[in-house]
Amino acid sequence: MKRTILQIVFSLIVLAAVVSFADVGKVAEVIAGANLAYFAVALVFYFAINAVMAYRIQMILEYLGTKLEYKKILTSHFSGMLASDFTPARSGYFATAAVLAKNHKVKSGEALVSILGPQMFDFIYKLVAGGIGAWYLFSFVIVGAGENAGAGIVLGLLGLFGMVAFMALLLFSQRFLGMISFAERLPFGGKALEMIGKMQENSHAISALTPHILVLIFITWIFKAIEWWFIAMSLGVKPEIAFAPIIFWGFVQPIITLLQFMPLPTIAGAGVSEAGAAFVLMQFGIGLPQAIAFTLMTRFVMILVDSVGIVEGIGWIGGNKRKSQS
């Protein structure tokens, strides 16, 4: 608990420093002048992204023979998304599996595979799209920026590649499970290994449903590009580009969100993500106050909509407390 509080405090300090550097007054002025109609459209598309993500969880669970009301899956998903908004590397999203298992009696192995499998493909998409975006950025936009320019983006790509490899091994490799058997000696290690073993028993669902998962990820990619486009329009942010804005936001978005998945001591890369985003956006003629305002609003959209999962999350936390007291 103390560690979480320290991370939140540190994140707020970093965010405050970034905003101050950009001029608090100017950032506030940009946000205050937001077009609420465009902002509302962005909220709708972010909700739609999560609705699709919840549907793919339901699709995997039903393939494994578990039927659960879509509304319950959606609120469980949002509780995990909300947790990811306040955890380093957005790792809190995996709480979705715990909520499904605890609140709705979904088998732990099935719940975990329904989260980890699609998330692996999500990371691959971010790796590919972010890599293409970074290549374009460094090849055609900031050729003379120097060796240290965008180091965070490169680290994010490498970190994400490592996460994809690790997730693939957890999902499909029994040999890897044997290699980490030493974890049994750690507190809760035996239980974790048992859960991973159960997850591997259900991993065939991911192989069978790969085409469907990829189509759904493509849909969420388009929705995300539209969401960011409308946030930009709501703030009057107009990148200097020679192609359609939806293409720009479709490839810039994964570059910027890569920084949120880096294992940093801030909540979901807070501060570092904003600074990195400002660096990227400024290369396309966007002023620093506008760039910071944009990144703050993208984070606000997530937290606002993800709050749908508060009640589900409280139910899970309350159940754990009652169990610990009994």
Those residues with Cβ within 8 angstroms of residue 238's Cβ, 6 or more apart along the chain or in another chain: 232, 285, 286
pTM, two decimals, is 0.84
- What is the chain's pLDDT, residue by residue, as a tens digit (326 residues)? 566 667 667 767 777 777 777 788 999 999 999 999 999 999 999 999 999 999 999 999 999 999 999 999 999 999 999 998 887 767 788 889 999 999 999 998 899 899 988 988 888 888 888 888 877 877 766 654 444 445 656 666 777 678 778 878 887 787 887 888 877 776 666 766 776 787 788 888 998 999 999 999 999 999 999 999 999 999 999 999 888 999 999 999 988 877 766 666 666 566 677 888 888 898 899 999 999 999 999 999 999 999 999 999 888 776 655 454 44
How many whole angstroms separate alpha carbon 292 and alpha carbon 271?
Answer: 10
The answer to whether 297 and 234 are in contact (CB under 8 A) is yes
Domain boundaries, the chain: 27-64+117-305
The answer to whether 184 and 192 are in contact (CB under 8 A) is no
Residue 66's identity, in one-letter code, is T
Q: How many CB atoms lie within 10 A of CB 192?
A: 14
**What are the phi and psi torsion angles at 78 (to 5°)?**
-65, -35
What Å distances lie between residue 44 and 49, 227, 316, CA to CA?
A: 9, 8, 27
Which stretches does DSSP call E strand in the chain? none
